């Protein structure tokens, strides 16, 4: 597996990581724990060393799963987790509001360390920007944790340009984790230049469009009530029918390259910048292998121009999230 450095942070990870959320949360009922531990070990064997989780996934059970899987092979893995919510296990979302107060961040860190069965978190993200806490205080709290040896690198998720600059001035930000894919490109014009200038990497979540860009679903796809896609505007039957134009495009490109739509979608993300690392999630070994092979697909400059020109002609129907969730992004 090829590796990439997240910006100029010094943090080097596998060119593709593994998003672990769906093993426990958001995409239907939690999967069998032993099967998921086996899958994480298989990811390691395939060359993936970058694993993404968060306290809110479950809540808590995804961190526990990752901890059980990776504690015996901790020296082979880079673990990223997140803080920033007041957890409420009785809520359907698993949380009941934002909380990035410094004292809360430090409590979350200690609890995450226990669940992850480790003495250090490699990359600790603020999951969502908390408008009630100055980002300088957040960065300072993580800086304290870094000095204490509990955290190695600081990250932000779904943060806007001003927040990134202010945080980075206090404690260097190693990575920004934002949604980024062929059908979610809004950060290219404003955020990307700032990341480039400051030497910050991008960890791209949902690089396969929450599964849509794999070509395995259409307007007739039905989601379990515990699958959060059932509540997303882009996954209504009408939106999926309209957005299939993008899948048709990458399917055709895949035929030319001897690749699947998912592999083309991942290869496209990888080709945008050498400091971008996608973290597709999966619960199936065949999909894991398929994703890993995307690293070896070369898209030339002319390929990318052709793809980007075609994408620009396709109107994506539906917002990423319902309005109340969208408010939590881009601060």
CA 138/CA 143 separation, integer angstroms: 9
Burial class (CB in 10 A: 0-12, 13-18, 19+), 103: exposed
Q: Which residues of 277-287 are buried (b: 16+ CB within 10 A; e: fewer)?
A: bbbbbbbeeeb
From residue 330, give the alpha-carbon distance in Å to each of 116, 147, 179, 183, 327.
29, 28, 11, 17, 8
CA 297/CA 264 separation, integer angstroms: 8
CB 319 within 8 A of CB 233: yes
Tokens linked to 29: 């009922």
Q: Which of 57, 153, 180, 205 is catalytic?
A: 57
How far, in whole angstroms, is CA 1 from its chain's centroid?
19
How far, in whole angstroms, is CA 292 from its chain's centroid?
16
List of residues 6+ apart from 302 with CB closer than 8 A = none
Q: What are phi and psi of 220, to 5 degrees?
A: -95, -5
Does the active-site annotation cover 57?
yes
Q: For residue 268, give the nearest of 166, 180, 203, 153 by alpha carbon.
A: 180
CA 239/CA 183 separation, integer angstroms: 12
Catalytic residues: 57
């Amino acid at each position: 597996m090829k590796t990439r450095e997240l910006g100029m942070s010094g943090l080097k990870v596998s060119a593709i990581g593994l998003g672990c959320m769906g093993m426990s949360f958001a995409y239907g009922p939690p999967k069998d724990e032993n099967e998921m531990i086996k899958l994480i070990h298989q990811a390691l064997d395939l060359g993936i060393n970058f694993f993404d989780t968060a306290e809110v996934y479950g809540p808590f059970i995804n961190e526990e799963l990752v901890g059980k899987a990776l504690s015996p092979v901790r020296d082979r893995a880079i673990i990223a987790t997140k803080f920033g919510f007041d957890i409420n296990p009785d809520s359907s979302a698993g949380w009941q509001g934002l909380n990035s107060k410094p004292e809360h961040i430090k409590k979350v860190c200690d609890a995450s360390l226990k669940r992850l069965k480790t003495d250090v978190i490699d990359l600790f993200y603020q999951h969502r920007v908390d408008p009630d806490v100055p980002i300088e205080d957040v960065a300072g709290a993580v800086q304290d944790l870094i000095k204490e040896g509990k955290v190695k690198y600081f990250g932000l998720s779904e943060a806007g340009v001003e927040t990134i600059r202010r945080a980075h001035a206090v404690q260097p930000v190693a990575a920004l984790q934002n949604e980024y894919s062929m059908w979610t490109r809004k950060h290219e014009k404003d955020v990307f230049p700032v990341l480039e200038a400051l030497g910050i990497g991008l960890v791209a979540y949902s690089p396969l469009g929450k599964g849509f860009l794999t070509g395995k679903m259409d307007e007739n796809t039905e989601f379990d009530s515990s699958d959060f896609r059932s509540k997303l505007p882009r996954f209504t039957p009408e939106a999926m029918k309209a957005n299939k134009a993008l899948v048709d495009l990458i399917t055709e490109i895949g035929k030319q390259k001897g690749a699947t739509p998912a592999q083309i979608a991942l290869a496209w993300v990888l080709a945008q910048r050498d400091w971008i690392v996608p973290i597709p999630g999966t619960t199936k070994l065949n999909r894991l292998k398929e994703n890993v092979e995307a690293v070896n697909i070369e898209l030339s400059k002319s390929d990318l121009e052709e793809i980007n020109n075609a994408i620009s002609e396709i109107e994506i129907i539906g917002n990423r999230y319902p309005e109340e969730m969208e408010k939590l992004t881009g601060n």
